[in-house]
């Protein structure tokens, strides 16, 4: 039997790469999924994939960094499905530079997408989680809800050229542990997955420079092929992770077997830690 039947999941950055794999994994296990992505078409395409396999999903495109996005996204999920059980704060990207060349804009952008956006989404969900826990207690039932925040090994051990990204991803671990203590009384498990070297469009091995458009800016993506080979060789399991590997790590914190696990940061990196 699917592990997440009757559950409603909200995944940010769900249109591509790791986010897409998370959406497909949760849907394959029975969850109804709200798929957010910065761009509309990738989000809609993931919804189509889920529906083709007999699952239920709905797209909500837009930037998680918009001031009222968090409350609007949570309201949309509740309007669409009438409940909310799982939130995966996955949206994000990198904008690398050594510190003496890094602008305030670069630093602030990482804070906005990796820290403030999850904060706003979780703040918006907090009221519903409290009300749901009280309502369920009155009926003598307990339903555990799940928050999975996404961090990185860069936050745990640092990474040259990523002072902005590493600092933001370290902040999300503090948010995770704090909310685990605040929300335990509401039967909410709050955990964090720190990814190692996972192959996505942001980290793919490239011979030529590539970029993506974010907020009107061109952000360089990809890793020079020789550097990517070095990174892969550092992984004890001998390879970079796939988006599916990453999604499996998130899934572990969404299933009933994690109902007594909260406030944890687990590295999904093939043995690579710091």
**C-alpha separations of 273 from 4, 159, 168, 264, 268 in Å:** 30, 12, 18, 15, 9
Do residues 148 and 189 touch, judged by C-beta distance below 8 A? Answer: no
| Interatomic CA distance for residues 265 and 269, integer angstroms | 12
| Interatomic CA distance for residues 230 and 166, integer angstroms | 20
Do residues 43 and 62 touch, judged by C-beta distance below 8 A? Answer: no
The position carrying tokens 């989404």 is 121
Q: Could you count the other beta carbons within 10 Å of the beta carbon of residue 254? A: 27
Do residues 117 and 12 touch, judged by C-beta distance below 8 A? Answer: yes
| Interatomic CA distance for residues 172 and 122, integer angstroms | 12
Residue 263, SS3 per DSSP: coil
Active-site position among 60, 93, 165, 186:
165
Give phi and psi for 129, each to the nearest 5.
-60, -40
Question: Is 81 annotated as catalytic?
Answer: no
Query: Which residues have a catalytic role annotated?
Result: 165
């Amino acid at each position: 039997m699917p592990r997440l039947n009757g559950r409603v999941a909200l995944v940010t950055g769900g249109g591509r790469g790791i986010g897409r794999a998370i959406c497909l994994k949760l849907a394959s296990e029975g969850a109804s999924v709200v798929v957010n992505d910065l761009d509309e078409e990738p989000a809609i395409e993931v919804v189509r994939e889920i529906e083709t396999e007999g699952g239920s999903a709905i797209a909500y495109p837009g930037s998680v960094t918009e001031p009222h996005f968090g409350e609007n996204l949570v309201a949309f999920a509740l309007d669409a499905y009438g409940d909310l059980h799982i939130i995966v704060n996955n949206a994000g990207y990198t904008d690398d530079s050594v510190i003496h060349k890094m602008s305030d804009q670069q630093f602030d952008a990482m804070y906005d997408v990796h820290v403030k956006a999850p904060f706003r989404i979780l703040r918006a969900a907090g009221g519903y989680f409290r009300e749901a826990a009280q309502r369920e207690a009155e009926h003598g039932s307990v339903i555990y809800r799940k928050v999975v925040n996404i961090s990185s090994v860069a936050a745990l051990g640092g990474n040259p050229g990523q002072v902005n990204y590493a600092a933001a991803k370290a902040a999300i671990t503090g948010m995770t542990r704090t909310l685990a203590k605040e929300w335990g009384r509401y039967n909410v498990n709050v955990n964090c997955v720190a990814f190692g070297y996972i192959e996505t469009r942001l980290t793919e091995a490239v011979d030529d420079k590539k970029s993506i458009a974010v907020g009107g800016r061109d952000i360089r993506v990809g890793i020079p092929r020789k550097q990517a080979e070095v990174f892969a060789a550092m992984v004890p399991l001998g390879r970079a992770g796939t988006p599916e590997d990453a999604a499996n790590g998130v899934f572990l914190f969404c299933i009933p077997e994690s109902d007594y696990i909260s406030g944890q940061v687990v590295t999904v990196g093939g043995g690579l830690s710091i």
